[in-house]
Every structure is written in structure tokens, then in C-alpha cells.
Amino acid sequence: MKDLSVIGGGSWGTALAIVLAPRFERVRLWVYEQDLAERMRTTRRNDVYLPDSTLPANIEVSSDVHASALGAEVVLGVMPSHHARPIYTQLLPVLQPDMLFVSATKGLENGSLDRVSEVMREVIGVQFTPRVGVLSGPTFAKEVARGEPAAIVIASHDAELARAIQHAFSGPTLRLYTNNDPVGVEIGASLKNVIAIAAGVCAGLGLGANTMAALITRGLAEITRLAIAAGGEARTLSGLAGLGDLVLTCNGELSRNRTVGFQLGQGRTLDEILGGMRMVAEGVQTTYAAMDLAARLGVELPITRQMYAILREGKSPREGLRDLMDRSLKEE
């Protein structure tokens, strides 16, 4: 493969373009903000989302979404989940059946409750049946862009696509594993952000390692329940896209979702926190979608339920923690 299109110029999209640039002759990076795209072409840096990393020479930056994808062999989507449907709809005129589509977006679509790969199939499917895979795992954009070793998963029901992307994307600092359970991977990728907000709340309240260990363990349990109910496999959630990503996001200070939770635990309101952020914390909207999906599938998500009450209903973090601990006693 020679031609890669990366749709989404936030921190993760930029980091993926940087780490994958040596693997392709041509990498096109679509950036929504025209002024940012112009600066990136001049300075070779994303001064808003990833200011410390330099773009390799073969990365072409554009704010023209059609030009960014036209003729690409691989289209890698890295937009926020709530932008996925309109962006793929906008891309339709230049998409072709021989393209491979990979989603690196972590989140659920509010309203439909679709996973992003489902959104892609629905939108692109009006023209042809797309070949789709999902990319996820324990990664912070800044560390990937610096060339620190990382391991992620490419999941698809299309084994040939998964192997092709594995070989195309893997290199000295990025190792890909294949997986045939995109449902489990996408649910894990989405719900870990909700648990990460809860982890931040605990840290903001000054709670220690015992609390964090319990939160991560029980958080993984409820993510797994939802994934299985949605058609995923339990084993997926014990791997990189489940436990691996959950541990990283709950403990790493680079996590935007953990940061939101930390500030909530410190007493700030959600509006204050989000008003001061340029980057998207997917876990906030995912919390709302996850509660709707849990209701649809008949799954209990006690941690997510308390996060919903804190984020949407204004419940105090300490009250949410108390109610979580006071629930009726159960078997593990």
C-alpha cells in the first residue's frame, strides 16, 4: 500500500499520520479548521492539538475533505464520534469499493446508539458495501508521535482486511494484533472513557490505590457485560482494546476523560470544564449513549449510572460514590 488518507486532524489523527508516514509513500491528513491546516503546511506542526511533534515531509495537510480522500487505498477515520455520520456522508462522492476503511474513533453515536463502524456501513452502504475494520488499544497520542513503542488491535469480520492493515501499519514503534470481534473492541473503546471519568473523580476526591483498583476491575466487568449483550466476546475485553486501554486511560494523566473527572472531583462544574477544553472528551457523550444502550439491552451498569447522574443530573461526586458503595451486596 502506498496511499493513506487520515480523516481527522486532532491529536490522535495527527499522531497516527506521523507514526504511519514511514509506512506509506503518501499520507494525506484532513484538518477541519482551515487556518490550522494552513499553519500546519507552513510550520509542519499541529500547534493546537499536538504542538511538540513535527510532521514528516510526505504528510500533505488539507482542509478539503474530498481532496484528502480521493484515490486513497486506506481511509482512516479519526473524527469525534458525533461527527462521523456527516463526515462520511460528505465523503461519499469520492469513496470507491476497492478502498479499505478503518475507524480509529472511540465512541457511540447518540440517538441511534450505533457503533462508528455501523455508522460507516450505513452511510457508505448506499453506494457499495464497504470493507471496514476498527483500530483501538492503549495509546496516548503524544507518546505515539514521539515514537514510544505501543501495541494496538485491528478488528474486523473481514480477516483479509485485518491482515492487510496489520502488515501495512505495523512498524518499529507500533505493533498491531488482529482480532475478529469489532463489536467487543468498539464497546471497550467507548465505555473505557466513561470509567476513566470515574477514575478522575476518585483522584480528584483524593482517594487512593485501593479505590482505583476496585473501580478498574468492576468497570471492566460492566463493560464486558454490555459488550456481550451487544454481540461481542468476553475474551476481547481482557486484551489490549479492553483491559489495556482501560488501565491506561484510568491511570494516565494525559487522559482527557480522566482530567474531566478529576476536575469534577475538585468541585468544578461540567460546563466550566468543557468550556475550557479544545479537545473532545468522548466519555461525556458516551455516558449518555451507554445508559440508553444498557436500557435497550437490559444490562446493569452501576458505575456508568452514577457517572450519568453526576454529569447530567448534577449529583455530587461524593454522593455518587456513596450510592455506588451502598448498593445491595452481590456475588462477583
Domain range annotation of the chain: 3-180, 183-325
Which range among 59-68, 91-100, 229-238, 273-282 shows the weakest confidence by mean pLDDT? 273-282
Q: Which of 2, 106, 142, 192 is catalytic?
A: 192
**Pairing of β 174-179 and β 150-155:** parallel
H-type helices in the chain, by residue range? 11-20, 34-43, 65-69, 84-91, 116-124, 141-145, 159-169, 182-204, 209-229, 245-251, 256-265, 270-275, 282-297, 302-313, 317-325
pLDDT of amino acid 279:
67
Amino acid at 210: N
Q: Three-state SS for 5?
A: strand
pLDDT of amino acid 219:
97
Grid coordinates of 71? 484515490
Q: What share of the chain is helix, strand, coil (3-state, %, to 5)?
A: 55, 15, 30
Interval 246-266: pLDDT, tens: 999 999 989 999 999 999 999
**Angle at the Cα of 144 from the Cα atoms of 241 and 280, rounded to 5 degrees:** 70
At the fourth CATH level, the homologous superfamily of domain 3-180 is: NAD(P)-binding Rossmann-like Domain (3.40.50.720)
**Pairing of β 26-30 and β 3-7:** parallel
**pLDDT band at residue 275, thresholds of 50, 70 and 90?**
confident
Q: Are 277 and 256 in contact (CB under 8 A)?
A: yes
Average pLDDT of the chain? 96
pLDDT average, residue stretch 145-168: 98
pLDDT at 227 over 70: yes
List, edge to edge, every strand of the sheet that includes 174-179.
59-62, 26-30, 3-7, 74-77, 100-103, 131-136, 150-155, 174-179
Grid coordinates of 111? 440517538
pLDDT of amino acid 241:
96
Grid coordinates of 56? 514528516
pLDDT at 280 over 90: no
What is the distance between the terminal CA atoms of the chain, rounded to a whole angstrom?
Answer: 47
Instruction: Examine the residue annotation and report whether 106 is marked as an active-site residue of this protein.
Output: no
pLDDT of amino acid 105:
95
Q: Three-state SS for 27?
A: strand
**pLDDT band at residue 19, thresholds of 50, 70 and 90?**
very high
**pLDDT band at residue 106, thresholds of 50, 70 and 90?**
very high
What whole-number distance in Å separates Cα of residue 283 and Cα of residue 160? 32
**pLDDT band at residue 119, thresholds of 50, 70 and 90?**
very high
CATH architecture of 183-325: Orthogonal Bundle (1.10)
